[in-house]
């Protein structure tokens, strides 16, 4: 069951990554002169995820995460079919927006199901295995899209992805997902925001996401413009990061007996040290590449512990809470791109690294404060 959830994360996560490397092929196929126009669909996808995760993810509390996940995957399958058949940019954007709505419901439901099926005392390991699906999306998805578009065309890439997600959906019906708890109460972003500890937990998610995307979103441009390397060289960075992210799964069990706040304090500290390393090798291609594996390790643990911290708050509102988690993450993608742009334009990636180091310190401060407050209240820190 855990493996099936991991595959689901990998497939739906791949959709958010595959459009960028094949934008030129998509533009040519739709008769568009500027490939950048195609990326409007990626922005629409992100907006769809953020809004859906906030307002529709709470449905899993009422109808069960298992049922919500299945319906969400049906929606994503249909949306990818529309994307594959899109005759113009307008329908491409519509298909990706619809896919975002489906993913906004699916991801929180998957994280909720991971918590449901986890054996007592093995929550971190189970969530970690499910999160490894992002490695499949980043490494396999990007590679598949590039070669698949070249060999079979970009429409085939989205069609194959739709078929793969539909296959996972069929398996979920065949093996019968465990029934997730249902709640009689109506949950919403408002009710979830009243849960004690939610503000600090979401702040931690925001700091982690901003610090990551603020650098990652401009890394490709830094490689080509500042380092003078071909864009294909960025593939090594993605590969090393993905391998580190996946390899970290084997160490998740060591976090089982450590409270998420305590773990996040150490993780934010590790992020700060990593930023210090990035600062000193910012223009050294191989030196920076060597640290990408460590970045993948650290980010795997960070995502695991932020999800772990949130799922412990109120089991009856996990859908709404995990919806807020996804909303914060996707809003941070937008916020990091916008907020870090002046830093990158004026001072390069080194300024982005300094900003992320400062954000890591702020995140560390919040987790230390939250840990002290939790210990005072007699809660596992």
pTM of the model: 0.82
Q: What's residue 129's pLDDT?
A: 84
Q: What's residue 231's pLDDT?
A: 61
What pLDDT band is residue 268 in, cutting at 50, 70 and 90? very high
Q: Using CA atoms, how far apart are residues 77 and 71, in angstroms rounded to an integer? A: 10
Statement: residue 381 has pLDDT above 60: no
Q: What percent of the chain has pLDDT over 90?
A: 39
Whether 99 contacts 80, CB under 8 Å: yes
- pLDDT tens readout for residues 291-347: 999 999 999 999 989 988 898 888 888 888 988 998 898 888 778 878 898 998 899
Q: What's residue 374's pLDDT?
A: 65
Q: What's residue 47's pLDDT?
A: 85
What pLDDT band is residue 245 in, cutting at 50, 70 and 90? confident
Q: Using CA atoms, how far apart are residues 150 and 18, in angstroms rounded to an integer? A: 13
Q: What's residue 336's pLDDT?
A: 84
Q: Using CA atoms, how far apart are residues 352 and 214, in angstroms rounded to an integer? A: 6
- pLDDT tens readout for residues 63-84: 888 899 999 999 999 999 999 9
For the segment 96-108, the average pLDDT, to the nearest whole number, is 93
- pLDDT tens readout for residues 342-378: 998 899 999 999 999 999 999 999 999 888 876 665 5
Q: What are phi and psi of 284, to 5 degrees?
A: -105, 110
| 200: alpha, beta or left? (left if phi > 0; alpha if psi -120 to 50) | alpha
Q: What's residue 73's pLDDT?
A: 96
Q: What percent of the chain has pLDDT over 70?
A: 96
Statement: residue 50 has pLDDT above 80: yes
Q: Using CA atoms, how far apart are residues 206 and 360, in angstroms rounded to an integer? A: 11
Close Cβ partners of 158 (under 8 Å, ≥ 6 residues apart): 15, 80, 81, 83, 84
Domains of the chain in start order, with CATH, are 2-182 (1.20.1250.20), 192-376 (1.20.1250.20)
Q: Is 36 exposed, middle or buried (CB count within 10 Å of its CB: 0-12, 13-18, 19+)?
A: exposed
Q: What's residue 114's pLDDT?
A: 86
């Amino acid at each position: 069951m855990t493996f099936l959830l991991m595959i689901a994360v990998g497939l739906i996560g791949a959709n958010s990554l595959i459009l960028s490397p094949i934008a030129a092929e998509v533009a040519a196929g739709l008769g568009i002169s500027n490939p950048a126009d195609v990326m409007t669909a990626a922005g629409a996808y992100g907006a769809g995820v953020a809004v859906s995760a906030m307002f529709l993810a709470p449905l899993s509390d009422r109808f069960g995460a298992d049922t919500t996940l299945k319906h969400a995957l049906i929606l994503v399958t249909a949306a990818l079919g529309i994307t594959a058949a899109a005759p113009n940019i307008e329908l491409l954007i519509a298909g990706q927006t619809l896919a975002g709505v489906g993913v906004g419901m699916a991801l929180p439901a998957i994280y909720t199901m991971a918590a449901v099926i986890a054996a007592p005392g093995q929550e971190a390991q189970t969530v970690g295995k499910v999160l490894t699906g992002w490695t499949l999306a980043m490494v396999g998805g990007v590679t598949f899209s590039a070669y698949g578009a070249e060999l079979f065309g970009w429409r085939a890439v989205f069609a194959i992805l739709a078929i793969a997600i539909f296959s996972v959906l069929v398996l979920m019906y065949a093996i019968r997902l465990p029934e997730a708890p249902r709640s009689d109460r109506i949950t919403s972003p408002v009710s979830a925001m009243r849960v004690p500890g939610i503000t600090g937990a979401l702040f931690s998610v925001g700091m982690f996401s901003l610090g990551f995307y603020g650098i990652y979103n401009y890394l490709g441009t830094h490689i080509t413009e500042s380092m003078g390397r071909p864009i294909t060289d960025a593939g090594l960075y993605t590969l090393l990061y993905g391998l580190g992210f996946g390899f970290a799964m084997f160490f998740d069990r060591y976090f089982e007996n450590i409270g998420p706040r305590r773990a996040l304090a150490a993780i934010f500290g590790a992020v700060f040290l990593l930023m210090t390393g990035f600062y000193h090798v910012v223009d050294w291609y191989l030196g920076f590449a060597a640290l990408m594996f460590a970045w993948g390790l650290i980010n795997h643990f960070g995502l695991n512990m932020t999800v772990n911290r949130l799922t412990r708050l109120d089991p009856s509102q996990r859908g709404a809470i995990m919806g807020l988690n996804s909303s914060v993450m996707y809003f941070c993608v937008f916020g990091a791109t916008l907020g870090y742009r002046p830093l990158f334009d004026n001072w390069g990636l080194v300024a982005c690294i300094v900003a992320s180091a400062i954000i890591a310190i702020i995140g560390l401060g919040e987790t230390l404060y939250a840990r002290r407050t939790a210990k005072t209240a007699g809660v596992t820190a």
